[in-house]
Amino acid sequence: MAKVPSAVVAAGGLVGGYGVARWTRKRQLGGVVLVGAGAVAARQWKQQAGGKAAGALTATYIAAFAGSHPLAKKVGAWPAVFGVAGAVALASWAVADRHA
C-alpha cells in the first residue's frame, strides 16, 4: 500500500479539521481531526527528517492553525484555511517528503 505523503496528511488535517468543525457545528470534533492528522504527520516527519525537523514542522502546523484565525478575518475562513494548509504542505514537502 502506498504511503500518503506527510504534506498531504498535514494539509488534510487543517482543511479537514475546519471542515468537520464547520459542518458538524462541533469544534471539538474538528479538533480531533486536526490533532489526529497532526500526530500522524509528526510521526512521518520524525521518520523522514529526524526529531529537530519534526519539532519545527509541528510548530509550523500549530502556528498555521493559530494564524488561520486572524487571517480569516481579513480574507475569509476557507481562503485562510487553504492558504495555511498550502504553506504547511510546502514546508512539509521541502523538509521531509522531497527526499523520501
pLDDT in tens, 55-72: 999 999 999 999 999 999
Whether 2 maps to a domain, the answer reads: no
- Look at the chain and report how many structural domains it folds into: 1
Whole-model pTM: value is 0.94
Query: Does residue 1 belong to any structural domain of this protein?
Result: no
**Confidence check: pLDDT of 12 > 70:** yes
In a domain, 65, yes or no: yes
Residue 81 lies in a domain: yes
Q: How confident is the model at residue 99 (pLDDT cuts 50, 70, 90)?
A: confident
| Higher-confidence position of 76 and 1 | 76
Task: Kindly report the average pLDDT of the chain as a whole number.
Answer: 96
Integer Cα distance of 66 and 40 in angstroms: 19
Average pLDDT over residues 1-10: 86
Using an 8 Å Cβ cutoff, are 30 and 14 in contact? no
> What would the mean pLDDT of 34-45 be, rounded to a whole number?
97
Q: How high is the pLDDT of residue 9?
A: 97
Read off the pLDDT band of 3 (50, 70, 90). Answer: confident
Length of the chain: 100
Backbone CA torsion sign across 18, 85, 69, 71: negative
